Structure 1
Amino acid sequence: MVKIYSFKNLSFILVSLSLLALASCKKEHHTTVATPTKLGLYAYSSSIYKELGIVISKVGTQNLDSLLVFDTGSGGMVIDATNILPASMISTSGFVFTGDSTVVDGITLTNQTSSIAYGVDSATTETVYGNLAYASVTIGDENGSIVIKRLPFFLYYKAVDSQNNILPAHEFDVFGVSSEYDLQFSNNVNITSPFSYFDPGTGLTKGFKMSAIGTSDYSYLGTYVDALTLGLTSDDLSGSSGFSFATLSYYQGDGYAPVIPGTVTYNNKSFASYVLFDTGTEPYSYLEDPTYAGSGTNLLPTNSAVSVSTTSGFTYSYVTSATENLTNVENPGTANGNETVFGLEFFLNNEYMIDFTDHKLGLKNN
């Protein structure tokens, strides 16, 4: 899902890794390159709607079995406090405690408050209200997991839709993996991708790559997909990897948002746009055409041809159908959208990578 960005104007060092040798009189010591870590996702589907989820199995000392939306369109773990904090501490106007912070079951809840707005446009905006928190967090389950010992995340007490209606508990739990900052608190504390806080080991670059999900693994009850690799090798980041790399720009307060420039074409009409590839947007994609003369959000007809070509040399195309690749077009000036968003169906047949060290986004046709 798309975080509502505060910036208005959107404006490339491949890493090289080498073995370090420490010479002594008669013996050389070589560092050993670590092995990348694998994690899985759960793929869910209904008649036309698909979703990717990731399990959070422990926060602080509490064992959980929470499934959060796996989201390349935002950065940071955002989770409802219901069943995590005592009910007596949660109200619709805020958390109930005194002092600068309090510790409950290994979770440090601070008095630093904020809110995050998500959505493609004004009609789809939803907002969560909460506080900065810290805890040791276990990501994954018995199929594979990692532990981040002190992860800053956003614990919310209330979520509302665009009409200010309060949403059910845990309706908006999000695991944002992009390198942007959903929030930035004092002392340079950033609510951003939990994967950016994970040390992949010696010789690996901080980042992750995501294999193509495919279309056969989605199910109503959820299918485990071994899709994620944490820790990037020199081969991953090389020009021969097949990925097209774009360097992400830094925006004050927003970090390295995963949006890149390109040219979007639909039904033989083209326009320049910043583009986001977002697992959290489904079942629609959104084309933000500044030359579009219509009003509101309009669904493209079946058999419409859509494509994008980025300035980094990556191309992606599809044809809409009655149930797949559903695509809306709107004018960003009237719909308050910022960037063209290609939703979850992009990830069915394409690969995705983020390098947190050199702030690069990689895309690959599969």
Structure 2
Amino acid sequence: MKIKKLLLQKQLIACLLIIATLISCKKEKNLGPGNGSPLTIGLYEYFSGANKRIFLPVTQIGTKPVSYYEIFDTGSSGMTIDASGILPASMITTSGIQVTGDSVVVNGITVTSKTGVVSFGDATGTTKEYGNLAYASIKIGNTAGSYTFKRVPIFLYYKIVNSDGKQLSAHSADVFGVGPGESHANSEITSPLRYFDTGTNLTSGFKLATLNASSFSSTGTYVAGLLTIGLTDSDLSSSGFIMHTLTRYSIGGYSPNIPGTISYSGKTISAQFLFDTGTPSVTIIEDKLATTALGKLPANTQVTITTNKGFTYTYTTSNTGNLTEIQNPNNTADYRTILSIDFFFKNEYLTDYSNHQIGLKNN
């Protein structure tokens, strides 16, 4: 099953290792469980060529201290992480993770015998992760503060293979998916942010502030205050977000896709929008009427999106930013128009897990 379009280009395969090497982690301040107050933390902004990523540090899984940087991804649901360096090497074989019986506990991680596959891509190319459902406490954060989620279901994968059949390096595509739905690998796997202790005063969900375009660097720059976990009443009623009620499906749960229209090059078409921090460079417009117009939109093309609730955003393509391509869903077998990470430079984003809605706000 497809989850989203994740561009796994060679320079990005190595970026997790680069960031882990160049960003030092000092003694952490543990902010403790949610007590009715939102938790605000920073993310790392990273670029390689035209591709941009935002990363969330993970410093402990179960009882095992680690130092991994996960792609913060609004376009998928659930945390995926390579088992290498987390489980004993003797448990990981070319044919899978070895589990005796229904489950086994290693390093405070409950690894089940339930296997699955997470797929990224479309009919033109798919990258697949193979692994097992597992449960563990997860500690996130850095020197400015950290938080530990208790017993989170995650997807622990043992190999990742691209559309050419090549197995990629360990931890080359660890993802922290915060979408509102369920993983296609196992419906128990959902956003780890759902496991934040909201107390009695908060609503389960998060806000993502506008990204700082000038802070993206090839070594990864920590930007404070980007992510707020736990929503207040004012976030949902008087902060200027336009709210969009989500649809639930039997597979995948609540979908992050929002209906609307998109206008470009003198025409307007219907669309299903996915606002996706996990797409690093190129917005994809799916146009079922497109024939000869497939491919990159020229620079200085104006594009306007309008959701069914009246949220509107207009951008102009250039040679260095807001890169946009036209595809036909008859070729890709994917009908979603996917807004890349550039969307988040100008707009705030909110997901309300409790009430199954997404908020969008121009900034």
Query: What TM-score, normalized to structure 2?
Result: 0.88
**TM-aligned CA deviation for residue 190 of structure 1:** 1.6
Secondary structure of 1:212's counterpart equals coil
Tell me the residue number matched to 1:304.
Answer: 301
Q: How does 1:306-325 map to 2 (within 5 A)?
A: 306-325=303-322
Q: Distance in 1 between matches of 2:74 and 2:110?
A: 26
Q: Distance in 2 between matches of 1:38 and 1:306?
A: 33
Q: How does 1:86-165 map to 2 (within 5 A)?
A: 86-119=88-121, 121-165=122-166
Secondary structure of 1:191's counterpart equals coil
When Rg is computed on C-alpha atoms for both structures, the one with the higher figure is 1
Q: Distance in 1 between matches of 2:153 and 2:292?
A: 43
Tell me the residue number matched to 1:242.
Answer: 240
Q: Distance in 2 between matches of 1:111 and 1:43?
A: 36
**TM-aligned CA deviation for residue 97 of structure 1:** 3.1
Secondary structure of 1:216's counterpart equals helix
| Aligned partners of 1:37 and 1:200 also within 8 Å | no
Tell me the residue number matched to 1:253.
Answer: 251
**TM-aligned CA deviation for residue 196 of structure 1:** 1.1
Change beyond 3 A, Cα 1:110–1:138: same
Q: 1:25-76, CA deviations, whole angstroms, 9 ceiling, x for partnerless residues?
A: xxxxxxxx82211121100013322110001110011101100100000000
Secondary structure of 2:115's counterpart equals strand
Tell me the residue number matched to 2:3.
Answer: 3
Secondary structure of 1:190's counterpart equals coil
Q: How does 1:1-366 map to 2 (within 5 A)?
A: 3-4=3-4, 34-119=36-121, 121-183=122-184, 185=186, 190-225=188-223, 226-238=225-237, 240-294=238-292, 298-366=295-363
**TM-aligned CA deviation for residue 111 of structure 1:** 0.2
Tell me the residue number matched to 1:16.
Answer: none
Structure 2 gap segments, 5+ residues each: 6-34
**TM-aligned CA deviation for residue 83 of structure 1:** 0.5
Q: Distance in 2 between matches of 1:150 and 1:157?
A: 20
| Aligned partners of 1:122 and 1:162 also within 8 Å | no
Aligned Cα RMSD in Å? 1.6
**TM-aligned CA deviation for residue 124 of structure 1:** 4.1
Secondary structure of 1:235's counterpart equals helix
Secondary structure of 1:321's counterpart equals coil
Provide the aligned length of Structure 1 versus Structure 2. 332
**TM-aligned CA deviation for residue 309 of structure 1:** 0.3
Structure 1 gap segments, 5+ residues each: 6-32
| Aligned partners of 2:118 and 2:185 also within 8 Å | no
Tell me the residue number matched to 1:17.
Answer: none
Q: 1:93-141, CA deviations, whole angstroms, 9 ceiling, x for partnerless residues?
A: 111232111111101100000101112x223421101000011110212
Q: Distance in 1 between matches of 2:85 and 2:185?
A: 26
**TM-aligned CA deviation for residue 347 of structure 1:** 0.6
| Aligned partners of 1:184 and 1:253 also within 8 Å | no
What amino acid does structure 2 have at the position aligned with 1:358?
Answer: N
**TM-aligned CA deviation for residue 272 of structure 1:** 0.2
Q: Distance in 1 between matches of 2:280 and 2:66?
A: 26
Q: 1:203-257, CA deviations, whole angstroms, 9 ceiling, x for partnerless residues?
A: 110010010012111111111122011111111100x321110000101121111
Secondary structure of 1:40's counterpart equals strand
Query: What TM-score, normalized to structure 1?
Result: 0.88
Secondary structure of 1:241's counterpart equals coil
Secondary structure of 2:116's counterpart equals strand
Secondary structure of 1:346's counterpart equals helix
Q: Distance in 2 between matches of 1:275 and 1:347?
A: 14
Q: Distance in 2 between matches of 1:195 and 1:284?
A: 27
Secondary structure of 1:183's counterpart equals coil
